[in-house]
Structure formats: C-alpha cells, structure tokens
Amino acid sequence: MIEAAREKLMQQEGCNLDMYLEDGYLHIGWGTLLHEPISQDAADFLFYERLKVSVKACELLFYPQWPTFSEPRQVAFVTLLYCMGRGRFETFEKTIAAAKRGEWHKCADEVLSSRWARRYKTRAGDVARIIRFNEL
C-alpha cells in the first residue's frame, strides 16, 4: 500500500525544488507544507543535506585554493555560506578574493564590515575570529 500511495502522491503533487505558494501556504518538494512542524529526523536530514551543499559550494567558489585552506578556515566559510546561502555569499567578493590570496586579516575585516555582520554580530565575530586566528 505504501508504495502505491507514494507513486500516486508523486504523480499528483509533482516535485518543485523551489518554494511555491499554493492556497496561501508555502510548499516545497513533493507538496510538503512549510507551516507544519517537522520531526527531528527530518530536520537532521535537511541540515546534513544543506551542509553538504554548502561544502560543495565552498569547494567551487574557492577553487583551486580550497584544499590549501586549514580546517578551521574551511569550517568558517562553510558556516558563513550555510547561514547566508550561496547567492548572498557570492556578493562577498572582497572576502572571497582576500581568502584566495591568503590575506586572512583582510578577509576577517571584510566579513566584519558587512551588513550581514551588523545583523549577526555574534556569529560574524566568531567567523572572523576563526578566519583571523585559524582556530575553532
């Protein structure tokens, strides 16, 4: 029965990887409502999927230097991109350029001078500290 229901729902719902509004409610994926609570397992799954996407995006954005970055700095950039999303993070051109040149103090300063940092002071300070001092 579960397989037949899965197939029927997939046929009826269709899959949309972008959020969409239907009947006044936000949905995503296979008709999943975004106004309802989700399970811890679902939250963990979404978290790890987004984390993997964030790592891959950093690998591409910082290519070819990414493998030379220390683990603490990789963690800092992944957490920054995870928070902002790739589109917003790509606007941090000076931050990205400074990192690619290995100018870590300049890179940290660029993070701290952003509008994002004014909104997320604690998080921005943590990210900048990791970038500047190479310590988690």
CATH 1.10.530.40 range(s) for the chain read 39-133
- State how far the Cα of 129 lies from the Cα of 126, in Å rounded to an integer: 5
- State how far the Cα of 110 lies from the Cα of 96, in Å rounded to an integer: 9
Contact 86, 102 (CB under 8 A): no
* pTM to 2 decimal places: 0.86
Instruction: Tell me the one-letter amino acid at 32.
Output: T
CB atoms inside a 10 Å sphere around CB 129? 17
Which class is domain 39-133? mainly alpha
Give 97-135 pLDDT, tens digit per residue: 999 999 999 999 999 999 999 999 999 999 999 999 999
In DSSP terms, which residues pair with 79 in a beta bridge? none
Q: According to DSSP H, which parts of 65-133 are helical? A: 71-84, 86-89, 93-100, 104-112, 115-119, 121-133
- State how far the Cα of 69 lies from the Cα of 60, in Å rounded to an integer: 13
**Residue 36 — pLDDT band, cuts 50, 70, 90?**
confident
Cα of first residue to Cα of last residue in the chain, in angstroms, is: 49
In DSSP terms, which residues pair with 33 in a beta bridge? 27
